[in-house]
Amino acid sequence: MSRKAAQPIIIGVTGSFGTGKSTVAAMFRKFGVRVLDADKIAHGLMRKNTKTYKKIVKEFGGGILKGSGAIDRSKLADIVFCGRKMLGRLCGIIHPAVISELKKSIKHISKNPRVPAVMIDAPLLIEAGVHKMADVLLVAVVSAKVRMERARKKTGKSDAEIKRRIGNQMPLKKKAKMADYIIDNEGNKDNTRKIVKKIWKEIKGGRK
């Protein structure tokens, strides 16, 4: 690592729908790593009457709103995951705002010398160019079968809907080729913890 010892290491973690990247991120928290969840940041930016909210409603219309006026993320997802063009329009609004918030958070966290690393947990980390902010890139991988099973269990979506969402992301194999570390998340959590522990030991050792 070329970063100064006082600065936290910036780790990016991504994967694909159903590969368990957020499970991996949660494991890194045990080592004092501060995790920034890009999805949660995006959801916050989409709150009613924010700048991002207004841009999204202007772009996609009032049909995406609940009776309360809040954005119905399920309705919005049904629209944007129909094709890359629609998803691209949404990402063009959300990604710059999320990146701005991530930079602010990292700058703030970096003032605390006790934080050894900051992890950015983002499904579209590479697609959004956020991986350029990271010193280390981790990609969680599982087989296509396990990915479908987990996504189905987590979301209750049909196989067709899940495949459509996966199809609108960069292929997992391509992401894996860009990774500094590939985390095989196919097995049980104990196995993943062992992999995470080993990777953290190497990352932490590399900053010295």
Cα 38 from Cα 40, distance rounded (Å): 5
Taking the model in full, what pTM does it have?
A: 0.90
Q: Judging by beta carbons within 10 Å of its beta carbon (0-12, 13-18, 19+), is residue 199 exposed, middle or buried?
A: buried
pLDDT on residue 207: 56
Question: Can you list the domains of the chain with their CATH numbers?
Answer: 9-206 (3.40.50.300)
Strand partners, 14: 139
Q: What is the pLDDT along the chain (208 residues), one digit of tens a residue?
A: 444 456 899 999 999 988 999 999 999 999 999 999 999 999 999 999 999 999 999 999 999 999 999 999 989 988 988 777 888 999 999 999 999 999 999 999 999 999 999 999 999 999 999 999 999 999 999 999 999 998 888 888 888 888 888 888 899 999 999 999 999 999 899 999 999 999 999 998 875 4
Whether residue 11 contacts residue 119, with contact meaning beta carbons closer than 8 Å, is answered with yes
What pLDDT sits at residue 1? 41
Distance CA 109, CA 106 (A): 5
